[in-house]
Amino acid sequence: LEIRDIQPGNWEFRVKALSVLGVSSLWKNTAKEILGLTVPPQALENLTLQTAGGLAILKWNRAADPDVRVGGNIVIRHSKEAEATWSDSYSMDQVSGGEAIAVLPLKPGTYLLRAEDSGGRLGPDV
């Protein structure tokens, strides 16, 4: 069974089978919470940094969320602090959510990355 374009929320479903002879099964009931595109993206995984000629080459596993890969972004920030947080860093760049590499100027400090989905929701930073 496939239901398209369902709104997020709590839903109750009820189904039964009907054979070609007209014999039906018992009803099967279930309740599900549909989150869909309202869920923030997952954290990016396996972030690495390589240096080459004054450049920082950042690589990570491609985002797991379809709404990041299509219509989303990878947001990249930097801080001079070793123990940086998202709020004390500044925006350096963003790349398409389908990408898994970025090349930036090499700077001392911390690079922070977050997946941003097509609705503008940010996942956890790495």
Convert the pLDDT of each residue in 83-116 to its tens digit: 999 999 999 999 999 999 999 999 999 999 999 9
Q: What is the pTM of this model?
A: 0.75
Specify the 3-state DSSP secondary structure of 124: coil
Rounded-to-integer distance, Cα 111 and Cα 92, Å: 9
Q: What is the mean pLDDT of the chain?
A: 94
Convert the pLDDT of each residue in 63-89 to its tens digit: 999 999 999 999 999 999 999 999 999
Q: Indicate if the pLDDT at residue 36 is higher than 80.
A: no
The CATH number of the structural domain formed by 48-116 is: 2.60.40
Average pLDDT over residues 3-25: 90
Domain ranges for the chain:
9-38, 48-116
